[in-house]
Amino acid sequence: MAFIALATLTAFFNLDMLGDYYASWGVPGLLRALISALAGVFLPFVVLPLGAVSIGSAIENGTVRVLLSKPLRRRDFFLGTLLSDISAVFIGATLYLATLVAYALHLGAPLSKTLELGLAFGSLLFLSLVQYLALGYLLSAFMRGRKGLLASLLLAFAVPISVVAVYPSFDVLARKALFVPSPLLQHIVLGMAVSPKSELPPKPVGEILNYPGNLALLVVPTLVYLAVSWLKFRRADLR
Amino acid sequence: MIRIENLVKTYKDVKALDGLNLEVKKGQIYGFLGPNGAGKSTTILSTLGLIFPQEGRIELFGEEVFRDGKYDEGRLVKAKARIGYMPEHATLWDFLTPVQTLSVIADAFGIPKAEKEKRINELLDLVGLKDARRRKVGKFSKGMRQRLLLAQALINDPDLLILDEPMTGLDPTGIAEFKEIIREQRRAGKTVFFSSHILAHVEEVCDTVGVIVKGKLRVEDSLDNIKREFLRKLATRLSWRQINPWTSAVLGGRSRRLGRISTG
Ligand SMILES: Nc1ncnc2c1ncn2[C@@H]1O[C@H](COP(=O)(O)OP(=O)(O)O)[C@@H](O)[C@H]1O
Ligand SMILES: [Mg+2]
């Protein structure tokens, strides 16, 4: 709930800035702005902690003990929690995107182009956020309580920053960054692809996804994180 | 109903259960008594598959659900359908009302809608939450939360009721009402297994008392016999230190009073 509210709020806060971008560069400028400035940075900061405390708090406050004393399997609890978290992420991302698309249309952006970019960006954003969620699950499988939460916030900062520091130029970053499972970097790259102002020529979303392994990197680490979290949860002491 | 053999559970460096043996028979109201940290919650969580002991065996309703570090989840799920469990500390969903909370719990048992509503009303009446049925649980007092936890444990009309420190934190009226509910279960032919660190809680309700100290069952008998045994040992002038392991557990809240009786 809080997540959804925050997502909507962020979208609104940045309408002004987006107006400027749109005035200067049109739809691509608009998307460039929102991709790199907000979605890539802010939403993961909500989603990663969400994942990190989701199962952990259920163990801490005892909800999981009540539920699993009923004729349910551990698998049912894990999947149920995961599904409800994913739908929260989905609703948040959708609201966020809907606000932006509506605003772009309000500014007079061409309908089909806006929808196309919006949809492509929306699905990438969703996959990235789910990956952050899964990373949060992974963290909570090894760390309980505040420690997990802190670590998750640290990680949200540290991973992208260290990667940006390692790569010598944006061009290399754009080609290689997607190999690092960090949604922030994926957003940066995506942002560059639709931007007319960065050093890179604007690229269609399809081409970005055609970098070898890009789509896989949005999905495979997610699956790995979730698998490890599940294996750990399956044999965890729930007290 | 419950049979536990040689159960061993070690948390990192703490040996919480040290070869525990215990049996709860059909129709018994079994008081599981022991000082804080004796291993009561560890035992209870093990019977429900919520933690993983390292060694031993657990049977529920005559079926082996745990052996040497592994649960048989299929059998466990079947057994859990007939069990009601009230945890020691737990918060349910603060943003739901008691009716909504119990409805979620009932769905885990697949109780049909019409029956569900009837059952929820009965239970809220039974635990004394009828007037608060439409209020958010987040605003509840500790005692009210406790009552709701009991209600959720009874939702499936369980054959076996497992309660972890159910009376801790209740006022005297609450305790009396609680004991009445347990007696009600006995009349209905159910089995109840509940833990406490206070002797007064098991008095007047339990037909059998087991005392656990440092992860082992030290004594198991009727409450009267346990008290008599205690006085006898005192009479033969065993030192306090020698009888301490179980006296502290048995006497709990009223050790001072009994102490005065026996020395006076
Ligand atoms: N998660 C844990 N990690 C380490 N030690 C624990 C943990 N949970 C319980 N213990 C220890 O196990 C022992 C038994 O605990 P418990 O079963 O909760 O006792 P009781 O319910 O009788 O008060 C205690 O010494 C307690 O400190
Ligand atoms: Mg306990």
Contacts of B35-40 with C-beta under 8 Å, sequence gap 24+, read: B35/B197, B35/B213, B35/B248, B35/B249, B35/B252, B36/B197, B38/B197, B38/B212, B38/B213, B38/B214, B38/B215, B38/B249, B39/B9, B39/B212, B39/B214, B39/B215, B40/B164, B40/B165, B40/B195, B40/B197, B40/B212
Percent over 90 (pLDDT), chain A? 21
Closest by CA position to A187, among listed A135, A116, A127: A127
CA distance B155 to B200: 27
CA distance B11 to B13: 6
What's the mean pLDDT when you consider all of chain B? Answer: 87
**Shortest CA gap B244–chain A (Å):** 29
Query: Whose alpha carbon is nearest atom 26 of ligand 1?
Result: B37
Nearest CA in chain B to A76: B108
B45: tokens are 């969580």
Strand B2-11 versus strand B14-24 pairing type: antiparallel
**Could you tell me which residue, B151 or B221, shows the higher pLDDT?**
B151
Subunit contact A237:B52, Cβ cutoff 8 A: yes
CA distances (Å), A84 to each of A12, A66, A91, B245, in order?
25, 18, 11, 48
CA A168, distance to chain mean position in Å, is: 25
pLDDT at B6 over 90: yes
Range of the domain at A230: 2-234
Which 212-251 residues of chain B touch chain A by CB within 8 A?
none
Closest ligand 1 atom to B38 CA = 22
Closest by CA position to B50, among listed B31, B65, B28: B65
Q: Please report whether residue A228 resides in a domain.
A: yes
Q: Is B105 on the interface with A (CB under 8 A)?
A: yes
Distance from the alpha carbon of residue B160 to the mean position of ligand 2, in angstroms = 19
Subunit contact A239:B45, Cβ cutoff 8 A: yes
**Shortest CA gap B45–chain A (Å):** 8
Q: For the whole model, what pTM was predicted?
A: 0.80
Q: Please report whether residue A239 resides in a domain.
A: no
Closest by CA position to A195, among listed A83, A3, A30: A30
Q: Pocket residues for ligand 1 (CB within 6 Å)?
A: A 239; B 11-12, 14, 16, 34, 36-42
Q: Please report whether residue A66 resides in a domain.
A: yes
Please report the pLDDT score of residue A32 as a whole number: 56
CA A203, distance to chain mean position in Å, is: 21
| Domain range summary for chain B, segments of one domain joined by + | 2-82+158-222
CA distance A55 to A151: 16
Task: Give B226-258 pLDDT, tens digit per residue.
Answer: 777 766 665 554 454 455 555 555 555 444 444
Closest ligand 1 atom to B164 CA = 21
Fold of B2-82+158-222: Rossmann fold (3.40.50)
Domain total of chain A:
1
Task: Give B50-82 pLDDT, tens digit per residue.
Answer: 999 999 999 999 999 999 999 999 999 999 999
ipTM: 0.85
